[in-house]
Chain A
C-alpha cells in the first residue's frame, strides 16, 4: 500500500509565476489536509478537503492560494503569482475518515521562489 504521494518534491519558480502542488492520498483515504512549514517553524494548517468539497480553508491566505480535490485525480494546491514569502515546504496528509486517530503525511514539496 503506497503512502501519501506528493509531486513535485522540489519546485523552483520565479516571482509572479504559478505553482501547482499535487497530492495523492493513501488508498482508501478520502480526507486530505494541506500544511505549510516555514523555515525553523512547525507546520501550519492550511486547508481540509474531501472529494469535491472544501471543508475548512481557514488557514489559507485570502488571495492567490486555492485548493481542490476532484472526484478523480490528486488534490491540487495552487499558488498564483508567487512571491518570495511563499517559499516553504508544503505537506499533504491524508486520513481514512473524520474520526481517524491519525493523519499520514507525504514527503512534502519544497517550493523555492527566486
Chain B
C-alpha cells in the first residue's frame, strides 16, 4: 500500500522567512502533485512533477522531485500572509494496464504566515 507522509504537519512562520515542506512516499511513482487548500474550499493545483530532478517555480513557491529518494519538497521563499493555507502532496501509482489514477494524499501541512 502506498503511503505518503508530509512534514511538518503544522508550520507557523513569520513573513519574510524561508521554509521547506517535505513529502516522502513509499513506492515507485511517476507523478507527484502539490495542491493548496484554503479553509472550506476545494483544492487548487500548484505543481505537477513528472520526472526525476523536475523543478518548478511559481512566485514564492518552488517544488522539486527526487524519485530515487522518493522525496519531494515545496520551498517557500520570503513568505507572505497570503500563502497561509493547507498544502497537500499527492502521488499516483501504476495500476493494471500501466494507467495512473487513484491519487494518494499526504495529511497536509497547515501553514500559517504571521505578519
Contact = CB atoms under 8 A, between A and B. Distances in A.
Interface of A: 31, 33, 35, 40-45, 48, 55-56, 59, 91, 95, 98-99, 101-108, 110
Nearest to A4: B42
Nearest to A43: B105
Which size bracket describes the interface of B in this complex?
Answer: 20 to 34
11 contacts: A35-B103, A42-B4, A42-B108, A56-B102, A98-B99, A98-B100, A101-B50, A102-B45, A102-B48, A105-B42, A107-B41
A4 B45 CA distance: 13
A92 B48 CA distance: 19
A100 to B, nearest CB: 9
B70 interface: no
A35 B106 CA distance: 13
Interface string B93-115: 00100011111111110000000
A110 B41 CA distance: 10
Contact of B42 (A95, A98, A101, A108): A108
Interface of B: 4, 31, 33, 35, 40-43, 45, 48, 50, 88, 90, 95, 99-108
A43 B88 contact: yes
A25 to B, nearest CB: 14
